[in-house]
Structure 1
Amino acid sequence: MGSRAFFLSLRRTRFVEGFGAANGWSSRRFLSSGGLGNELVEDAVVVEGSDDLKSRIFRLRLPKRSVTNVIQKWVGEGNEVSAPELRQISKELRKSQRYKHALEVSEWMVTDEGYELSDKDYADRIDLMTKVFGVDAAERYFEGLPTSGKTSETYTALLHSYASLKMSDKAADLYEKMKDSNLSFSALTYNEMMTLYMSIGQVEKVSSVVDEMKRQKVAPDIFTYNLWISSYAATLRIDEVERVLDEMSQDSNSNEDWKRYRQLTRIYVISGQLLNSESGGLVEAEKGITQREWITYDFLVILHASLGKKERVDQIWKSLRMTKQKMTSRNFMCVLSSYLILGHMKEAGEVIDQWKQATNTSFDSSYCNRLLEAYREIGLIDTANAFQMLLIEKNCISGGDP
C-alpha cells in the first residue's frame, strides 16, 4: 500500500468516539476452513466446551457461516435469548470486525416480533449495512424507515457512513436536512462533519461547524476541541490554538481528561514544534503527506494520551513508522511527551532510542531541552525532573544541563 493510501486509511481512525473510534488500526484474519470436516470439528467443540450462545456464534470463523442458524438452533433447544444479550454479542462482533455476523444478529432482532428495537439498534444497522453491503444499501434502508425511525441517531449513522467514505456532497446535503429537521443532535453529529472536513483538507470549514454547534447550544466534547484545535494547528494559526485552549479551560464540562489534553497541547506549542518544524511551512512531504497531515496525527496522539489510552498511542505511533515516511523531530517530540505525561518512562526511553537511530531525522538535544523547559513552564516539575533523568540515562545531555 502506498503511503498516501495508508494515510487515508489510517485517518479513518475517527477523532470522535464514533471515530469514535478508532476503526482500522489493526487487521483481523478469519481462520481458513477445510470444508465440511472443519464444520464438524466446530460442532464437536461446541458440545465439549463452554456452551452458550455467544460461544457458539464466535466459533463461526468464516463469514459465510450463518449466525441465524445458530440462534435458531439455540432457541429450538428451549433456550431464551434476551435483547441485551444479542446487543452485547453484536457489539463484540463489531469490535472483531465480523460485520456480517453482527448484521445477522441485528436481523434476527428485527424479524422476531418479541423484540422492541431502540433508535440505537436502527443506527447500528445502518452502520453495519454500509460495511457489509455498501452505502447505497444503508441509504435505501434509511429512506425506508418510517418518520418515527428517522431520529438523531439514524441521521447521524448515515452521516457517518457518508463521512467515512468521504462523500462530501452527500454528507453536506444530509447535514442541511438534519439542521432543518427540528431534531436535537449531540456533539457526535457535528464531530462527524468536522472529521470529514479535516480528512478532505477543507480545514477552514471546521470553525463554521463549531459556530453552528454554539447556535444550537450543543456542548462540545473533548473530540470537538481536538478537531477544532487540529484545524488551526494545520494552518499554523497558533494564536487561535491558544484561544481555543483558553475557551476549553472555561468550559463547565471540563474534567481531568480535558486538563491533561490542554497540558499536552500547551507543551506541544510552547516547545516550539509547530513553529520550528523542519519543513518550515505547509509543503508536500516526501511521499505526498503534507505537514498539515502530520500535525493532525500529532494532535490525534495528544487526544488519546489525554484520555489515558496508551494502547491507541502505541498503535498510532507504530502505524506512522510503518509508512516509511520521513519522521520529523516534531513527531518524535509529540509521542515522547505523550508517554511522559502518561508516566510510561520505558516507552519514552524507547522513543528516544528510535529517534537516535533514525536515518532521516538527526537527534538534537536542543529539542529535548525545549521540551524540558515547556514542562517547567506549565508547572509539571516532577515530569520535567523524570524526563531530565531519562535524558541523562540515555546519554542525551550531561548531568549539569538544564
Structure 2
Amino acid sequence: MSSKSLHHKRSFSSTAEPTSDGVRLAGDDAESSSYPMEAPDDLRSRIFRLRLPKRSATSVIEKWIAEGRKATAPELRNIVRDLKKSQRFKHALEISEWMRNHQESELSESDYAMLIDLITKVFGVQSAEEIFEALPPNAKSCQVYTALLHSYSRAKLVEQAESLFERIKDSNLSCNILTFNEMMTLYTSVGQLNKVHVVVEELKRRKISPDLFTYNLRVSACAAVLDIDGVKKILDEMASDSNSDDPWSTYIKLTNIYIAAAHFPSSENSLVESDKKISQREWITYDFLILLHAGLGNIQTVSQIWKALQLTSQKMSSRNYICVLSSYLLLGKLKEASDVIDEWKQSKVLDIDMSDTCSRLFDGFMKVGSIDTAETLREIMRQKNFKITRSTA
C-alpha cells in the first residue's frame, strides 16, 4: 500500500477521534456556501470562516478550484501556518494533507515537518510515527526526523526518542543544533540529567555550534542538581564561543557579576530587569536565577522570582520546587520553605524523580530542627513515588 493510500485510509474518516481539537471528525462536510456580501471572498477567508472542526477545509479548497481559481502551494502554506497559530489543527492538517496529495512535487522539508507535527497534535504520536515511516526516503530530511523527535520529546517517550536519535546519527543527514536540543530538552524534562552531558559531548564531536538555548538547557541541568561549579564552566564556554554576540555578552557579564559579587551592584540594572530585553527562549532559567540570588542572600528577589515563575504558563516541575526549597533552606527561611512544601504537596507534579536531591533536602531540614517540614517532604517523596534514600529511610 502506498504512503498516500495508507494516509487517505486513516485521514478524517467518520470514526477518527482527534486528540487536540476535542471533537469526532465527521468526514468532508462542507461549510455553507453563503457568505456575507461585505466579507472578503478569498481562499483564506473562506477557510477561516469554518466555525466547527467537523467542517471540511478540503471541501472549501476543492470548491474554490471548481470555480476556476488557483490554490498555490505558497498560499496554502501560509494558511496552514496561520491555522496552526490559531490552534485550529484539524483544518491545518486537512490542508497539509491536500497539498501532499495534489502538490507533492512542490512540498519542502518544512512542509513534511509541519505534516508530522500536525498529525501528532490531531491523531497522536503513533499516527505521526506511522506516516513518517510511510514517507518516501527523499522526504525524510533531518528536519522531518527532528519533527518526529519533537513529538517523542513532548510525550516524554524516551526509548522511542533515543532509537530515532540513533537512526539520525547513523544516517548521512547533516543535522543542526535543533536535533540535539530536542534530546537535551527531553532528558531535562524527565530528570535524566546525566544524559544531557552525553548529548553535549556528541555535538562537540560533530563540531556542531550550540545556540543560546543549548547553553540554557545545560545550565538548567546543572541547576537541577545545584552544581554551581558546572554552571561556571558553561559560562566560561559561552564567553569563549566565537559565535557569541552582544546579547550573549550582556548575559554572560551579568551572570558572572552575580556569581562573583559579594553584594548587588548599586545600579538598578539587575539580571531580573535585563532579561526583559531578550526573548523567552534566551532567558536564563528561573532555577538558575533563584540559585544566583540565594547565593547572594537576597531573599526578597528569590521570593519575587518564585512568584513570577508561578504566574507564567510554564508547567511546574519537581526541579522548580526543589530549587526554591534549597534556596530557602540555605537562607534559613523555614517558614517560606514550609509554604512551598505545602504548595508542592497540593500540586500534581509527578514528572521528575529527584530522589537524591530530596534526600539531601530532608537531611538539611532535620539538621536545622524543622521536623514538620522534613516530614512533609518525606510524605511528598512517597506521594510522588520518589525513592527514599540515606537518612530518610
TM-score (norm 1): 0.59
Alignment of 1:313-328 (within 5 A): none
Between the two proteins, the alignment pairs up a number of residues equal to: 265
Letter in 2 for 1:211: E
Aligned-residue sequence identity (percent) comes to 51
Alignment of 1:312-391 (within 5 A): 329-330=301-302, 332-333=304-305, 361=336
Asked if 2 retains the 8 angstrom alpha-carbon contact of 1:126 and 1:158, the reply is: yes
> Could you say which residue in structure 1 is the equivalent of 2:125?
135
Letter in 2 for 1:249: A
Structure 1 position 182, deviation (Å): 2.1
Query: Deviations for 1:25-82, whole angstroms, at most 9, x for unmatched residues?
Result: xxx999xxxxxxxx65x8423x421222111111212211111111112222222222
The CA distance in 2 between the partners of 1:231 and 1:121, in whole Å, is 33
The CA distance in 1 between the partners of 2:146 and 2:137, in whole Å, is 15
Asked if 1 retains the 8 angstrom alpha-carbon contact of 2:222 and 2:228, the reply is: yes
The CA distance in 1 between the partners of 2:40 and 2:260, in whole Å, is 56
Aligned pair in 2 of structure 1 residues 200, 108: CA closer, same or farther (>3 Å)? Answer: same
TM-score (norm 2): 0.60
SS for the counterpart of 2:207 is coil
Structure 1 position 104, deviation (Å): 0.8
Alignment of 1:145-184 (within 5 A): 145-184=135-174
> Could you say which residue in structure 1 is the equivalent of 2:192?
202
The structure whose Rg is larger is 2
> Could you say which residue in structure 2 is the equivalent of 1:240?
230
> Could you say which residue in structure 2 is the equivalent of 1:373?
none
The CA distance in 2 between the partners of 1:272 and 1:136, in whole Å, is 53
The CA distance in 1 between the partners of 2:174 and 2:274, in whole Å, is 26
> Could you say which residue in structure 2 is the equivalent of 1:229?
219
> Could you say which residue in structure 2 is the equivalent of 1:44?
35
The CA distance in 2 between the partners of 1:302 and 1:189, in whole Å, is 31
Query: Deviations for 1:261-282, whole angstroms, at most 9, x for unmatched residues?
Result: 3245445545799xxxxxxxxx
SS for the counterpart of 1:332 is helix
Asked if 1 retains the 8 angstrom alpha-carbon contact of 2:73 and 2:103, the reply is: no
Query: Deviations for 1:71-96, whole angstroms, at most 9, x for unmatched residues?
Result: 11222222222211111111111111
- With CA pairs under 8 Å and 6+ residues apart, which has the higher RCO, 1 or 2? 1
Query: Deviations for 1:332-374, whole angstroms, at most 9, x for unmatched residues?
Result: 24788xxxxxxxxxxxxxxxxxxxxxxx759xxxxxxxxxxxx
Q: Which runs of 4+ in 1 moved over 6 A?
A: 301-304
Structure 1 position 309, deviation (Å): 4.8
Asked if 2 retains the 8 angstrom alpha-carbon contact of 1:126 and 1:141, the reply is: yes
SS for the counterpart of 2:35 is helix
What do you get for the CA RMSD once the two structures are aligned?
3.5
The CA distance in 2 between the partners of 1:104 and 1:183, in whole Å, is 29
Asked if 1 retains the 8 angstrom alpha-carbon contact of 2:110 and 2:143, the reply is: yes
Aligned pair in 2 of structure 1 residues 241, 79: CA closer, same or farther (>3 Å)? Answer: same
Asked if 2 retains the 8 angstrom alpha-carbon contact of 1:123 and 1:157, the reply is: yes
Asked if 2 retains the 8 angstrom alpha-carbon contact of 1:103 and 1:125, the reply is: yes
The CA distance in 2 between the partners of 1:330 and 1:43, in whole Å, is 58
The CA distance in 2 between the partners of 1:85 and 1:166, in whole Å, is 34
Asked if 1 retains the 8 angstrom alpha-carbon contact of 2:21 and 2:122, the reply is: no
The CA distance in 2 between the partners of 1:259 and 1:335, in whole Å, is 28
Aligned pair in 2 of structure 1 residues 328, 95: CA closer, same or farther (>3 Å)? Answer: farther
Does residue 76 of structure 1 match 2:66? yes
The CA distance in 1 between the partners of 2:201 and 2:70, in whole Å, is 49
Structure 1 position 119, deviation (Å): 1.5
Asked if 2 retains the 8 angstrom alpha-carbon contact of 1:129 and 1:138, the reply is: yes
The CA distance in 2 between the partners of 1:330 and 1:44, in whole Å, is 55
Asked if 2 retains the 8 angstrom alpha-carbon contact of 1:258 and 1:306, the reply is: no
Select between 75-84 and 177-186 the one with higher mean Cα deviation: 75-84
The CA distance in 2 between the partners of 1:123 and 1:268, in whole Å, is 41
SS for the counterpart of 1:185 is coil
Aligned pair in 2 of structure 1 residues 255, 87: CA closer, same or farther (>3 Å)? Answer: same
Letter in 1 for 2:187: Y
Alignment of 1:47-126 (within 5 A): 47-113=37-103, 115-126=105-116
Asked if 2 retains the 8 angstrom alpha-carbon contact of 1:226 and 1:303, the reply is: no
Gaps of at least 5 residues in structure 1 are 1-27, 31-38, 274-298, 317-326, 337-359, 363-402
Letter in 2 for 1:117: L
> Could you say which residue in structure 2 is the equivalent of 1:21?
none
Query: Deviations for 1:225-278, whole angstroms, at most 9, x for unmatched residues?
Result: 1101111111111111111112112212111232343245445545799xxxxx
Gaps of at least 5 residues in structure 2 are 1-19, 23-30, 264-270, 287-298, 309-334, 338-393
Aligned pair in 2 of structure 1 residues 328, 98: CA closer, same or farther (>3 Å)? Answer: farther
Aligned pair in 2 of structure 1 residues 224, 97: CA closer, same or farther (>3 Å)? Answer: same
